[in-house]
Amino acid sequence: MSATCRLAGELYPAQLFRSIACARCLFFIYFVTSPYTGRYQFDICDTGVLICDPHENPCSCSETPNRTFNIPGFSINSSLSISLDSLHLEPDLPPDFVIITEQCCEAAVKCCDNVLSPDAEVNPETSYIVSREAPKRGPKSLPTNRDGAISCPATWDGWQCFERSLPGAVHKRCPNYIFGDRLRNDVDSGDIVAKECLTNGEWFKKKWGNTVSEWTDYSGCVLNQQSMLKLVAGIVAFSVTVIAIIPAIIIISSHSALKKQTVFRIHKNLLYSFLFSGLFYLFNCFFFVIDGAIGDHLYFINHISCRILFTLQLRYFRLSTFTWMLGEGVYLYRLLMCTFSSEAESLKPYYVLCWGFPLVVTIAYSALRQIFDNEECWVSPSKVFWIEWTIMGPCLIALCINLLLVLMILYVLIKKLRYNPHLEPAQYTKAVRAVFMLVPVFGLHFLITIYRIQSTLHQIINLTLDGIQGFVVALIVCYTNKTVIECVKKWIEKYLEERKLRRQSEDQRIQFKRSIETSFAIEKLYPRTVNMDPNSNGITLMHNFSKDSDENEESIDINGIPTAQSGLSAITDMNGVTTIIPSKNTTNFV
């Protein structure tokens, strides 16, 4: 018996199912709404989608096969259909419409192979609507599952797969390809697609024109302002964190008094983890998520680069943030409990635990995701729940250990304060306040938001807290830290003092240079003269000095005086007049 797959209430052989399901993907994604509904005629043929001009006649699958379009790899007969690459309409379809349609087609084939065909083989009595090539027969009895309970058969509704279900509402997430030209950033925000299984074992049907067919409610997938608000909140929060962390890392790295201390080295690594997490979030949003992003087609084809980038953001750096928060808690606890501690403590164990362990876990997660759930660039949590626990488990363990450490630290601080009568009661408040300052550093606020409520407001608050955590941590460990503030003050004072000395030195250098230049100019314009006045007691050198040279010492060269005047003394008064007086003979009485 050949494999059969159910599509909107009808069973088709697997090959025909591939062709019709792919044609329906194209039709339901792009042609059920404006601007194409009134401009063209559409019909679903076995080989693809028939597209004709509104007044073209005839327009049918048999008479105008040259107007049928499909993806060659999915068409039951590619020679009777035209490749989608050759489809040109007015207005133009999105540039990546072939890639987006192909994602839907591949999902339909996967549903047929893994869900629909096995269900039809196990429950043949429920598959009472057969393919077009076989006569129809009525159901023998109410459709049941293996346990004998009434249930609705597994089916492909035209956009996504529904497994065999018991009576009641069945919920699914909105597949991203249904939006045609954009990637929804909140695909994991909730189950907002509904399909109802009736008590008679049939899916709910609705009348469309002259036909009655199975119906699925996709109204919850309509784009609204809430998803845009969530995206903006995330971008703003992570941008604030990135802007705040970069100067903090520079400050800690540029001061030798800080970068040599173990506690600040741990702070810096935690800030690095927040920084990389924020940078990857912003890059992925602008490159994959926002409308018109240049990399959205990589998401639709599940490209390896897309998987790597989202895995680094959502798994590796998230887990490394939790491990470094655990490292903060362990170090602080050891600092309080150990009598002897060395500031030159090696950080190799911290590096192995906080950078190496998340890398190993992320590689294991990626291997499992590749094997069991290789879809949607791994943006959404895996449908195989235990795969996600490879990431969530270590995060929860780190949070629980940090919570225990905070309680123990609080107990030790209160105990020490209680046995010290010299401390004022206000010190208790300071101790408790100090412990609560550790809440964002240890990540304990995640214990409040760990349960995801299906509310847009809760999701925005949770995303905002997640985004600004790095900013708050930077405030605590850097901008409000007394040690950092003292180092920055000393650096500023040293810089200002050096700047003052440089300016004074520069001023003196300029003044000295100006004095030398003035002296040479005077020598050239007003050469020195010798006054041989016989009435005077010596020779007077007339020398005019500028006011600029008053503060500088000047030396008078008397080498030009005749040799007969040897043994002379030179005296310069305040007016710049130098008098040369003959030396008097003295008698040595010794």
Enter the pTM of the model: 0.67
Highest mean pLDDT among 58-62, 127-131, 157-161, 581-585: 157-161
Residue 536 sits in the same domain as residue 520: no
Length of the chain: 590
Tell me if 256 is assigned to some domain: yes
Q: Is the pLDDT of residue 575 over 60?
A: no
Residue 394 sits in the same domain as residue 417: yes
Tell me if 517 is assigned to some domain: yes
Which of 317, 341, 332, 314 shows the shortest CA–CA distance to 477?
Answer: 332
Reported as a single tens digit per residue, the pLDDT across 66-99 is 889 999 889 888 888 899 888 888 888 887 888 8
Higher pLDDT, 254 or 582: 254
Confidence of residue 539 (pLDDT cuts 50, 70, 90): very low
For 5, phi and psi rounded to 5 degrees? -135, 145
Q: Which domain holds residue 569?
A: 529-582
Residue 61 sits in the same domain as residue 132: yes
Dihedral angle over CA of 584, 588, 589, 590, nearest 10: 160
Question: In this structure, are residues 234 and 226 in contact, taking their beta carbons and an 8 Å threshold?
Answer: no
CATH code (residue 184): 4.10.1240.10
Higher pLDDT, 347 or 186: 347
Section 233-258 average pLDDT: 92
Query: Which H or E run includes 300?
Result: helix 296-300
Higher pLDDT, 235 or 138: 235
Q: Is 489 helix (H, G, I), strand (E, B) or coil?
A: helix
Cα-to-chain-centroid distance, residue 471: 14
Confidence of residue 176 (pLDDT cuts 50, 70, 90): confident
Q: What is the pLDDT of residue 230?
A: 85
Q: What is the pLDDT of residue 368?
A: 94
User: CA-CA distance, 18 to 23, in Å (whole number)?
Assistant: 9
Confidence of residue 526 (pLDDT cuts 50, 70, 90): low
Tell me if 590 is assigned to some domain: no
User: CA-CA distance, 223 to 338, in Å (whole number)?
Assistant: 56
Tell me if 588 is assigned to some domain: no
Confidence of residue 562 (pLDDT cuts 50, 70, 90): very low
Q: What is the pLDDT of residue 218?
A: 86
Q: What is the pLDDT of residue 370?
A: 92
Within 10 A of 208 (CB to CB), how many other CB atoms are there?
Answer: 9
Section 397-417 average pLDDT: 83
User: CA-CA distance, 319 to 569, in Å (whole number)?
Assistant: 89
End-to-end Cα, the chain, rounded Å = 145
Dihedral angle over CA of 198, 202, 205, 211, nearest 10: -160
Structure token pair of residue 228: 């845009």
Residue 68 sits in the same domain as residue 201: yes
- End-of-domain residue from the set 173, 198, 221: 221
Q: Which residue has the tokens 């028939």?
A: 50
Section 172-178 average pLDDT: 84
Residue 232 sits in the same domain as residue 301: yes
Question: In this structure, are residues 69 and 84 in contact, taking their beta carbons and an 8 Å threshold?
Answer: yes
User: CA-CA distance, 87 to 93, in Å (whole number)?
Assistant: 9
Confidence of residue 278 (pLDDT cuts 50, 70, 90): very high
Residue 55 sits in the same domain as residue 104: yes
Q: Is the pLDDT of residue 139 over 70?
A: no
Report the range of poorest mean pLDDT among 270-279, 322-331, 371-380: 371-380
Q: Which residue has the tokens 């490879």?
A: 390
Confidence of residue 208 (pLDDT cuts 50, 70, 90): confident
CATH code (residue 299): 1.20.1070.10
Q: What is the pLDDT of residue 542?
A: 47
Higher pLDDT, 444 or 306: 306
Tell me if 138 is assigned to some domain: yes
Highest mean pLDDT among 69-73, 189-193, 240-244: 240-244
User: CA-CA distance, 229 to 458, in Å (whole number)?
Assistant: 12
Section 270-291 average pLDDT: 91
Within 10 A of 577 (CB to CB), how many other CB atoms are there?
Answer: 15
Section 277-291 average pLDDT: 89
Question: In this structure, are residues 169 and 215 in contact, taking their beta carbons and an 8 Å threshold?
Answer: no
Mean pLDDT score across all residues of the chain: 79
Tell me if 139 is assigned to some domain: yes
Q: What is the pLDDT of residue 89?
A: 87
Within 10 A of 136 (CB to CB), how many other CB atoms are there?
Answer: 11
Section 221-232 average pLDDT: 76
Q: What is the pLDDT of residue 127?
A: 44
Residue 456 sits in the same domain as residue 545: no
Tell me if 589 is assigned to some domain: no
Q: Is the pLDDT of residue 237 over 90?
A: yes
The residues that bridge with 214 in the sheet, in sequence order, are 205
Q: Is the pLDDT of residue 344 over 50?
A: yes
Q: Is the pLDDT of residue 2 over 90?
A: no
Report the range of poorest mean pLDDT among 11-20, 321-330, 481-490, 499-508: 499-508
Residue 555 sits in the same domain as residue 448: no
Structure token pair of residue 290: 């926002």
Section 433-440 average pLDDT: 73
In the chain, how many domains are there? 4
Q: Is the pLDDT of residue 187 over 90?
A: no
Dihedral angle over CA of 288, 292, 295, 297, nearest 10: 100
- End-of-domain residue from the set 204, 221, 238: 221
Residue 499 sits in the same domain as residue 432: no
Residue 400 sits in the same domain as residue 497: no
Section 329-348 average pLDDT: 75
Q: What is the pLDDT of residue 181?
A: 64
Residue 402 sits in the same domain as residue 429: yes
Residue 370 sits in the same domain as residue 275: yes
User: CA-CA distance, 563 to 400, in Å (whole number)?
Assistant: 101
Tell me if 587 is assigned to some domain: no
Greatest Cα-to-Cα distance within the chain, rounded to the nearest angstrom: 154
- End-of-domain residue from the set 480, 511, 540: 480
User: Counting beta carbons within 10 angstroms of the beta carbon of residue 86, is it exposed (0 to 12), middle (13 to 18) or buried (19 or more)?
Assistant: exposed
